[in-house]
Structure 1
């Protein structure tokens, strides 16, 4: 019997951007940090530990026995005042002074972003040690850069995810509950943004990432309230896995085409308001999801978006996420300054324009002040 000819595709090969999907190694568990010494020592013997002032003071007693046991010569360095270019310049000098061969990032999103970018710029391995469930920064190959005043500037794609991620549930459990609530807000945004930016894609990995985002949303809907009431429960650790790990997986598999849309664009605009600087990243993003859905209602007349927004409002009330500008502590901010934030969020290169329709700053303003309304008739000219 003769062989059948193999069909030859008439399509030309497509060039894809490289994907950085996951850390090389992940350790997770209750008090797993104390057993991580050998894994850390495989990466370097002169670590520079980067974090915020309070975090470094709190974590030193956990890290120093590990360094002593593995004969590591460590130095601690604050990233303050923010994940800013000036902070990175100062930290690069400390890398040289200490002759560091490894960076260990400890803390929340900005500390980890700083440590990851520092390691990337110095061509050193990086260990991430999140101290809360507030973001997926411990996982991703991405760093956000802010000004010294905390204003979002730009983001940087890194060549790879961290070499080692240590998710110690015992350590994360010591963080204020508000940080995990914020992490839930940041993570659940994956579905609402990825389904818009990549929901119509026929590419295999993008389809996979969008569906994982849907699963992540459902996990958080089902388990968040229980987790927050019972921090010793399995649901709690599963929600932490969702906010720190699974959210990172989605960004890694989906790549740049499956990340941020209007929710994060609203966050970026709000960073230009001094009054919002004490509001957590995930809290601003969670509010941004409601704004994005409100835009879909107002501009497209999207009834599904209206239903999704009502579902989220109920969920936010249950777990304590902000639903309005007032909830964010921005009730007294003038309309002029809010318009400035909206203008930032709608500038030409903003991720907000991944929405399948055009949005003006005035339309965004109308959505921002009407996230809890029951109608879809608010018009931007009512704000003039």
Structure 2
């Protein structure tokens, strides 16, 4: 009998649909929401290697995100200094750099890292990681004016940029930090120096149910000594800790108590060992701050140390020549990531291993690292 004359079963279309549906299931015969509960207990790096459907799952909005390394990148000194700053994320599973979506073009974003007349000096671009977001707080334009009249925020899970509320006094060379989902900006200068701005402090709450639409004025500093250069205000145990000079120079320390809205003196042991870029590993949801840890990298000796609050001293974690020339550091998820050697390498230290492990991450080709942050991975639909 001719094959075309063979009658087709009435349920064949149903079987094809069912087969197609089974191909999209994470586990055949099990609803996807139950499959996700099972797969959520497995390391994403394992799921990545098994099959395409599981690989798509770990980048989907419905799956708990793992964390990635985010970097601000600048062209090297021999390139056009007016080239735009770039933003990328390093996926720790695929080990690939991915560019972030472009920031809003209205108004145009002009962030100057090097000026043609001052190639030996880098101009700071001050960024924070706040409640899972990347926040740009302060920078300089090619006309030496503040580049950010309001913060620029990137949300990795939605891959969207947005603006924060306008700053009462846009700044550069300021103190910038975060505690408990709030952004703090203090001191600094605008186009020119003003004493009232150099002593002022502003707060923006990003973490409330409704994001605050304005900055709140807080207790000011006693003088303008913290406006000399960009200062990292380190959030640690409910306070902001900062020094006014980088490196091993003689410096002054200050501590801001967030709850009491008062300024305090920095403990002498902490101040004495603050000899390089510093960062804290903080859980934003931990209101008791029991898991906070503060790290500093001695930029001349290449020594990574951890602050011991009870003894007011710094405890050496490890030392390595690759940590020398440290410029910026971030910490989180058991890792300390250090930008070194004029942004030509990122050194990663596993500080929770019984014996700390260290390895080097190369930036994307023809780019130098300005700053790094540890944030949730971006979602992908492919």
Question: What band does the TM-score fall into relative to the shorter chain?
Answer: under 0.3
Q: Whose relative contact order is higher, 1 or 2, with alpha carbons under 8 Å and at least 6 apart?
A: 1
Structure 1 length-normalised TM: 0.26
TM-score under structure 2 length normalisation: 0.26
Q: Which has the higher helix share?
A: 1
Select the structure of larger CA radius of gyration: 2
Flag the structure with higher strand content: 2
